[in-house]
Amino acid sequence: MTAPLRIALAGLGTVGAGVIRLLEENGALIAARAGRPIEVVAVSARNRTKDRGADLSGMAWEDDMTQLANHGEVDVVVELVGGSDGPALALARKALSGGKHLVTANKAMIAHHGMELATLAEEKGLSLKFEAAVAGGIPVIKGLGEGAAANRIDRVYGILNGTCNYILSQMESTGADFADVLKAAQDLGYAEADPAFDIEGVDAGHKLAILAALAFGTAVDFAALDISGITRVRAADIAQADALGHVIRLVGQAELQADGHLFQRVAPVLVAKSHPLASVDGPTNAVVAEGNFVGRLLFVGRGAGDGPTASAVVADLIDIARGNATPPFSLPAAMLSATPAADPGHRTSRAYMRFVVADRPGVLAEITAAMRDAGVSIESLIQQGRPEEGGEVLVAIVSHEGPESAVAAALALLEGSPSISEPPLVMRLIG
Ligand SMILES: NC(=O)c1ccc[n+]([C@@H]2O[C@H](COP(=O)([O-])OP(=O)(O)OC[C@H]3O[C@@H](n4cnc5c(N)ncnc54)[C@H](OP(=O)(O)O)[C@@H]3O)[C@@H](O)[C@H]2O)c1
Averaged in consecutive runs of 10 residues, what is the pLDDT profile of the chain (431 residues)? 92 97 98 98 97 94 97 96 97 98 98 98 98 97 97 97 96 96 90 93 98 98 97 95 96 96 98 97 95 97 95 98 96 96 94 94 94 98 77 93 97 96 96 88
| Ligand 1 center from residue 297 Cα (angstroms) | 31
CA Rg value for the chain:
24
| Cβ proximity of 14 and 305 under 8 Å | yes
- Give the number of the atom of ligand 1 that is nearest the alpha carbon of residue 81: 24
- Of the candidates 326, 320, 307, 274, the residue with the CA atom closest to the CA atom of residue 141: 326
| Cβ proximity of 353 and 407 under 8 Å | yes
CA 311 to chain centre: 18
Is residue 320 within 6 Å of ligand 1 at its C-beta?
A: no
Is residue 80 within 6 Å of ligand 1 at its C-beta?
A: yes
| Cβ proximity of 26 and 97 under 8 Å | no
pTM for the model stands at 0.97
Residue 285, H or E segment: strand 284-291
Separation of alpha carbons 399 and 376, rounded Å: 7
- Which residues make beta-bridge pairs with 254? 156, 264
The predicted structure's pLDDT at residue 264:
98
Of 51, 63, 79, 81, the one to substitute when testing ligand 1's pocket (max ligand atoms within 8 A of C-beta) is 81
| Cβ proximity of 212 and 262 under 8 Å | yes
The predicted structure's pLDDT at residue 341:
97
- Give the number of the atom of ligand 1 that is nearest the alpha carbon of residue 83: 45
Is residue 44 within 6 Å of ligand 1 at its C-beta?
A: yes
Is residue 304 within 6 Å of ligand 1 at its C-beta?
A: yes
- Contact residues for 381 (Cβ-Cβ < 8 A; gap 6+): 364, 368, 395, 396, 397, 398
Is residue 285 within 6 Å of ligand 1 at its C-beta?
A: no
Q: Would you call 207 a catalytic residue per the annotation?
A: yes
| Cβ proximity of 56 and 43 under 8 Å | yes
The predicted structure's pLDDT at residue 1:
56
The predicted structure's pLDDT at residue 360:
85
Of 309, 311, 316, the one to substitute when testing ligand 1's pocket (max ligand atoms within 8 A of C-beta) is 309
